[in-house]
Amino acid sequence: MGARLSDKQKKKIIADYSITENYSATAKLNGVSRTTVSRVVSESADLDSLLQQKKEQNTADILAYMERQRDIVCEIIGKGLNALNDDEKLAAASPTQITTALGTLIDKWTMISGRTADTVEEDELSKSLKELAEGLESDDK
């Protein structure tokens, strides 16, 4: 039987697991077995709230970083949109690539605007994009 873990070691295992969310990775970080990590994690009563707090903090950190980098992020998005709108690149792209890009743009746009694609009433642009995508998919077959 191995040595007992101190409270400090258990807290470190829980903290590492909250970051990795992986028993094996946490075991390697702490020089213990995967089974030990599993046992320590299962014995932790407040782990679920700790994991939720960590996820919320990670999200907040990413959003704060992106806000600080707003000008660069907008420039990158602009370049990406210009590349997607380049006639030569569009002509060279497969129908699958085009429909995937269109689908991603539409999904993200509706998500940002607070609407889902299923509940949004189709406007003329949406209808024409959908028809274009269906036509390209049929050409791809």
pLDDT per residue as tens digits for the range 54-84: 888 888 998 899 889 989 988 888 888 888 8
In a domain, residue 69? The reply is no
Does residue 76 sit within a domain?
A: no
Is residue 93 situated within a structural domain? yes
Same domain? 91 vs 136: yes
pLDDT band at 138 (very low <50, low <70, confident <90, very high): low
Quick check: is 19 in a domain?
A: yes
17: which residues sit within 8 A by CB, 6+ positions away? 23, 26, 37, 40, 41, 47
Answer yes or no: are the C-beta atoms of 23 and 34 closer than 8 Å: yes
What is the pLDDT at residue 73?
A: 82
33-48 burial code (b ≥16 CB/10 A, e <16): eeebbebbbeebeeee
**Domain count for the chain:** 2
Q: Confirm whether 94 is domain-assigned.
A: yes
Look at residue 1 and tell me whether its pLDDT is greater than 80. Answer: no
* pLDDT at site 8: 93
Position 34 scores a pLDDT of: 96
The predicted model gives 6-32 an average pLDDT of 91
Domain, as residue range, for 117: 85-140
Residue-wise pLDDT for 43-56, tens only, equals 887 777 877 888 88
Confirm whether 62 is domain-assigned: no
Rounded distance, CA 44 to CA 26, Å? 15
Residue 94: exposed, middle, or buried by beta-carbon count in 10 A (0-12, 13-18, 19+)?
Answer: exposed
Residue 37 lies in a domain: yes
Q: pLDDT (tens digit, 9 = 90+) per residue, 75-120?
A: 888 888 888 888 998 889 888 888 888 888 888 888 776 655 555 5
- 106: in domain: yes
Q: How far apart are CA 56 and CA 70, in angstroms?
A: 21
Q: Each residue of 25-41: pLDDT tens digit?
A: 999 999 999 999 999 98
